[in-house]
């Protein structure tokens, strides 16, 4: 069984004064504080969430 590819996502922007859907997307990614990092499975769903809020998150690494 092949290992699943992952990406490391870091929050770089604050959700203050952002639309409710953008805040919900951050929570969905498991981010809620500045500079917090999460390792997530690289799926089209996760990529879509990251692409929805590129001004609030960045991809730090891929494995």
pLDDT digits (tens, 9 = 90+) for 8-60: 999 999 999 999 999 999 999 999 999 999 999 999 999 999 999 999 999 99
The CATH number of the structural domain formed by 6-62 is 3.30.1390.20
Cα(53)–Cα(25) distance, integer angstroms: 8
At 50, which helix (H) or strand (E)? Answer: helix 44-52
Distance from CA of residue 12 to its chain's centroid?
Answer: 10
Q: Is the pLDDT of residue 2 over 80?
A: no
Q: Residue 53: count other Cβ atoms within 10 Å of its Cβ.
A: 20
Q: Where are the domains of the chain?
A: 6-62
Cα(13)–Cα(6) distance, integer angstroms: 22
pTM: 0.89
């Amino acid at each position: 069984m092949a290992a699943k590819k992952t990406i490391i996502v870091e929050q770089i922007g604050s959700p203050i004064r952002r639309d409710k859907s953008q805040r919900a997307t951050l929570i969905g990614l498991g981010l809620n504080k500045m500079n917090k990092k999460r390792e997530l499975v690289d799926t089209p769903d996760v990529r879509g969430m990251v692409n929805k809020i590129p001004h609030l998150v960045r991809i730090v690494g891929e494995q």
